[in-house]
């Protein structure tokens, strides 16, 4: 059988090729073995998102866990990743498992692990689970019946969605949002956030808030190029104050202003940081992934807050959050967490923070962004995901490691940050980053400049320099 490797956030593979019932059973077996080794009374919270085959793969894992004598808390419907993380914490379980491939293309599914604290399991512990994966399937799944195990009490059905909604209602001034006179829109991208938002805000403008396991053939990643329909909807309606989008498992955020213009995660982190510190008077460390704009660090210093930069992958931010007093942790991909919630990315939660910010300040999203610019300067950001030959990719990475790139066209490299990938600092306001993806066979190239034209020019110079055609 094929070797199974966990990436930046879980194990992901193409359905029916490598992501099969047999391989899920192998990973579940390793998960069970690890849980038994580390907990006296082991229990696992498990659920799946809206992706194709989710229920089948979840039930496969459940059967394995039960066969090993582990108590299982089984979600009663499709769920988001943050719901599992919250459930693990609230139910005081040993571990959480989410059957999801997050933002990956529709032909993928995946398997994420969540620690007892309510966030991504550390790299070290994921490595321990990985080392326990057997070379062949060891469980006779057809001998285990889930309904029978529910009756025996070995499986408990839980409503994680209700638990999440109750937590939202206790944490936000929802009436301020509902009575603000502001119209908001939400694009679920056919993902797991759809039911929650409908229940919280029945009168909101909704898009792609129904089940479609193939996501209409598009990767449910909330980035501008995937959200043209949402952007056009906002432009056409003309009365939408802001639009929120979340990915397949609703842990990542996408955002649009009233003009239907995309607001990237860098701006979102800055907005939320300013709100939490200035309006809500909260303090704590600011933790960002290496691919995030340096302007977050700049704002943290202006506000007198400690800061730290970690590797890409939310698990590195989560580890900081469970050990230290962290106000906000965020990454370029749209994964953000804040103080007072779980140490986990949560797209809906961050969207509600921003809606509350707008409602309570009486200011538009555009006005709030201008307040950020007054402090850190105006900037724009862009990212290209390059699907390239593995040989060329390896060659580019090798050149980066050997510091062979001294310039990209007219842009000279001042210094290189190798925290994760290769971040080329070009000047005070411009940078370029090259990093192989940890979840997909692509080379990610990121750039920031004072305007969008400048960011795209940097990326064009990068592609020319690395030999991408």
For 192-244, write each residue's pLDDT tens digit.
Answer: 999 999 999 989 999 999 999 999 999 999 999 999 999 999 999 999 999 99
The closest of 296, 315, 318 to 307, measured between CA atoms, is: 296
Residues of the chain with pLDDT below 70 are 1, 438-440
The closest of 10, 50, 52 to 27, measured between CA atoms, is: 10
What total number of domains does the chain contain? 3
- Pair (397, 335) in one structural domain: no
Would you state the pLDDT for residue 438? 65
Using the 3D structure, point to which of 161, 185, 214 is the last residue of a domain: 161
pLDDT tens string 302-311: 999 999 999 9
* Residue 166, in any domain of the structure: no
Whichever domain contains 434, its CATH number is 3.30.310.50
* Residue 265, in any domain of the structure: yes
Using the 3D structure, point to which of 360, 376, 392 is the last residue of a domain: 376
Average pLDDT over the chain reads 95
- Pair (337, 439) in one structural domain: no
* Residue 5, in any domain of the structure: no
Whichever domain contains 309, its CATH number is 3.40.120.10
* Residue 33, in any domain of the structure: yes
* Residue 75, in any domain of the structure: yes
Would you state the pLDDT for residue 439? 62
* Residue 112, in any domain of the structure: yes
Would you state the pLDDT for residue 138? 76
- Pair (157, 210) in one structural domain: no
* pTM, 2 dp: 0.94
Alpha carbons 123 and 311: distance in angstroms, whole number? 11
Residue 250 lies in domain: 172-376
- Pair (216, 264) in one structural domain: yes
- Pair (319, 198) in one structural domain: yes
* Residue 1, in any domain of the structure: no
Alpha carbons 435 and 335: distance in angstroms, whole number? 17
- Pair (386, 369) in one structural domain: no
Angle subtended by helix axes 390-401 and 452-466, to nearest 10: 100
- Pair (456, 357) in one structural domain: no
For 239, the token pair is 């009365």
- Pair (84, 154) in one structural domain: yes
- Pair (149, 203) in one structural domain: no
HEC per residue, the chain: CCCCCCECCEEEEEECCCECHHHHHHHHHHHHHHHHHHCCCCEEEEEECCCCCHHHHHHHHHHHHHHCCCEEEEECCCCCHHHHHHHHHHCCCCEEEEECCCCCCCCEEEEEEEECCCCECCHHHHHHHHHCCCCCCCCCHHHCCHHHHHHHCCEEEECHHHHHHHHHHHHCCHHHHHCCCCCEEEECCCCCCHHHHHHHCCCCEEECCCCCCCHHHCCCCCCHHHCHHHHHHHHHHCCCCEEEEECCCCCEEEEECCCCCEECHHHHHHHHHHHHHHHCCCCCEEEEECCCCCHHHHHHHHCCCCEEEECCCHHHHHHHHHHCCEEEEECCCCEEEECCCCCCCCHHHHHHHHHHHHHHHCCCHHHHHHHHHHHHCCCEEEEEEECCCHHHHHHHHHHHHCCCCCEECCEECCEEECCCCEEEECCCCCEEEEEECCCCCCEEEEEEECCHHHHHHHHHHHHHHHCCC
- Pair (147, 25) in one structural domain: yes
CB atoms within 10 A of CB 212: 16
* Residue 57, in any domain of the structure: yes
The closest of 387, 354, 65 to 219, measured between CA atoms, is: 387
- Pair (326, 237) in one structural domain: yes
Using the 3D structure, point to which of 376, 407, 424 is the last residue of a domain: 376
- Pair (232, 276) in one structural domain: yes
């Amino acid at each position: 059988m094929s070797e199974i490797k966990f990436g930046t956030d879980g194990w992901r593979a193409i359905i029916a090729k490598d992501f099969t019932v047999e391989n899920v059973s192998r990973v579940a077996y390793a998960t069970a073995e690890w849980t038994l080794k580390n907990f006296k009374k082991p229990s696992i919270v498990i659920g799946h998102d809206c992706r194709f085959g989710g229920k089948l793969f979840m039930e496969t894992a459940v059967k394995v866990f039960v066969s090993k004598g582990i108590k299982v808390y089984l979600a009663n419907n499709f769920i988001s990743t943050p719901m599992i993380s919250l459930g693990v914490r609230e139910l005081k379980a040993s571990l959480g498992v989410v059957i999801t491939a997050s933002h990956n293309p529709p032909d993928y599914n995946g398997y994420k692990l969540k620690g007892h604290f309510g966030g991504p399991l550390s790299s070290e512990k994921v490595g321990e689970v990985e080392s326990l994966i057997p070379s062949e399937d060891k469980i006779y799944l057809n001998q285990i019946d889930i309904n029978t195990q529910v009756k025996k009490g070995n499986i408990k059905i839980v409503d994680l969605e209700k638990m999440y909604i109750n937590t939202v209602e206790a944490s936000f001034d929802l009436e301020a949002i509902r009575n603000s006179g502001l119209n908001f829109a939400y694009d679920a991208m056919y993902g797991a956030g759809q039911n929650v938002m409908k229940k919280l805000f029945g009168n909101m403008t909704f898009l792609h808030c129904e089940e479609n396991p193939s996501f209409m053939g598009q990767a449910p990643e909330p980035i501008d190029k995937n959200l043209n329909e949402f952007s056009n909807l906002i432009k056409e309606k003309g009365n939408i104050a802001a639009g929120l989008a979340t990915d397949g498992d609703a842990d990542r955020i996408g955002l649009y202003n009233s003009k239907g213009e995309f607001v990237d995660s860098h701006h979102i982190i800055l907005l939320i940081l300013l709100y939490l510190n200035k309006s809500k008077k909260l303090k704590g460390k600011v933790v960002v992934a290496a691919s995030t704009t340096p302007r977050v660090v700049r704002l943290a210093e202006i506000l007198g807050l400690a800061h730290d930069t970690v590797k890409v992958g939310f698990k590195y931010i989560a580890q900081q959050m469970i050990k230290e007093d962290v106000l906000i942790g965020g990454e370029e991909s749209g994964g953000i967490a804040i103080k007072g919630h779980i140490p986990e990315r949560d797209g809906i939660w961050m969207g509600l923070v921003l809606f509350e910010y707008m409602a309570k300040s009486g200011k538009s999203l555009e006005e709030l962004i201008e307040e950020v610019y007054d402090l850190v300067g105006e900037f724009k950001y862009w990212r290209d995901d390059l699907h390239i030959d593995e040989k060329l990719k390896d060659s580019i990475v090798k050149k980066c490691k050997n510091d062979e790139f001294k310039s990209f066209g007219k842009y000279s490299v001042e210094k290189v940050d190798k925290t994760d990938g290769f971040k080329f600092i070009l000047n005070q306001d411009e940078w370029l980053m090259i990093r192989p993806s940890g979840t997909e066979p692509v080379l990610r190239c990121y750039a920031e400049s004072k305007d969008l034209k400048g960011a795209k020019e940097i990326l064009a110079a990068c592609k020319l320099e690395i030999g991408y055609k």
